[in-house]
Structure 1
Amino acid sequence: MKIYTRGGDQGQTRIYADKPVKVSKADTVLACYGDIDELNSQVGLLACHADSETDFLHGVQQNLFQLGYAISATSSLNESDVLALEQRIDSLAAPLPPQRSFILPGGHVSAAQAHVCRTVCRRAERTLVAASMEHPVPATTMAYLNRLSDYFFVLARSLNASAGQPDISVPARG
């Protein structure tokens, strides 16, 4: 089977909802797919750097794939996936010192990559909101992406703490 089909050479492609639908490659739903795909790739890189979270991150990657299905057709993503993120956030946050200032991305390489995932996740969330104005999008998908960016933030703090790196605080201006 060849990887190329030449079907998209004129700027159109098919998405699969309840039936195949031809859309422009400029459609917001395709921008959303692209942002989610980029996020999934960044999460894969993070999993290579964050040994303690590899299994959880692989689960996140599976859920991101399901999130793509939810936009175009059906998905197994559900409220329990959102709750699992919340539980993981609470678990990672419990031993951390209270946050007293804004934090810059950085510190340990794994924490910096978690911040990259957070920012790509926020973009994917914005694109998903735009896509929801033109296509049906289950509420669970928006809740999942919203919670996922929170997870990446807390994970970055946790990874820095585990590596003995302090958070990089934004100094107060006075």
Structure 2
Amino acid sequence: MGNRLSKIYTRTGDDGSTGLADGNRIAKNAQRVEAMGTADELNCHIGLLIETLDDTDPLVEALRRVQHHLFDLGGEFAIPGSQVIGEAHTDWLEQTLDEYNEGLPPLKNFILPGGSPAAAQCHLARAVCRRAERVVVALGHEDSINTASRHYLNRLSDLLFVVARVLARREGSGEILWEQKKSGL
């Protein structure tokens, strides 16, 4: 790690700009900063999900690994042109997803977020992951990005969906199925 922060505030961002890891400054509302912030927000939601689980739960290890990936992803966005996330990261997500999906029954209905506090938190993380993916797609329209990062986020949202299903069935009252007849007034 390079320079360590001994003083948290610098006042350099008071003008509405922020520094990237390569030394350049950009507006705090730039798409690249939005991508960094959304990856950070997703990481926080996964951290909160982990805190709902028992330390011995095998999901904790997988989710911590995801947190490390997301930290790397944020770093990748902070250094334009860098590539930290690769296809091996997506391959690992797919293997993990297949492992957790194997024991689940096929879906015949849409499911609503919920089923247990952990499942609901996982669904929230999934929704933020989908937003992160949209932000990265938008960033890719204005600047070059590592397409493996976009693939990673797409697969991560799938994994979070499957994990939410696992948690709802394991820790709660089960999955809550959407019923069209309940949508009416």
**Selected match of 1:49 from 49, 52, 67:** 52
Give, in angstroms, the shift of residue 14 of structure 1: 1.5
- Answer whether contact 2:36 2:78 (CA < 8 A) is retained: no
Counterpart position of 1:156: 164
Counterpart position of 2:174: 166
Counterpart position of 2:135: 127
Q: Does 1:114 align with 2:119?
A: no
| Separation in structure 2 between the aligned mates of residue 134 and residue 69 of structure 1, nearest angstrom | 19
The within-5 A match list for 1:40-119 is 40-51=43-54, 52=57, 53-73=59-79, 74-119=82-127
Deviations 1:33-72 (A, max 9, x none): 1111110000001111133211111100000011112223
SS at the partner of 1:9? helix
- Answer whether contact 1:160 1:166 (CA < 8 A) is retained: yes
1:128 maps to amino acid? V
Give the CA RMSD over aligned residues: 1.5
Counterpart position of 2:11: 6
List, as ranges, runs of 4+ consecutive aligned residues in structure 1 with deviation greater than 6 Å: none
- Answer whether contact 1:103 1:168 (CA < 8 A) is retained: yes
Give, in angstroms, the shift of residue 75 of structure 1: 4.2
Provide structure 2 residue ranges, at least 5 long, that are not aligned to the other structure.
1-5
SS at the partner of 2:180? coil
Task: Give the fraction of aligned pairs with identical amino acids, expressed as a percent.
Answer: 41
TM-score for the superposition, normalised by structure 2 = 0.88
| Separation in structure 2 between the aligned mates of residue 84 and residue 9 of structure 1, nearest angstrom | 41
- Gap change, CA 1:8 and 1:164, over 3 Å in 2: closer
Give, in angstroms, the shift of residue 97 of structure 1: 1.2
Provide structure 1 residue ranges, at least 5 long, that are not aligned to the other structure.
none
Q: Does 1:142 align with 2:142?
A: no
| Separation in structure 1 between the aligned mates of residue 78 and residue 171 of structure 2, nearest angstrom | 40
- Answer whether contact 1:70 1:137 (CA < 8 A) is retained: no
TM-score for the superposition, normalised by structure 1 = 0.93
Give, in angstroms, the shift of residue 164 of structure 1: 5.1
Give, in angstroms, the shift of residue 172 of structure 1: 3.4
SS at the partner of 1:98? coil
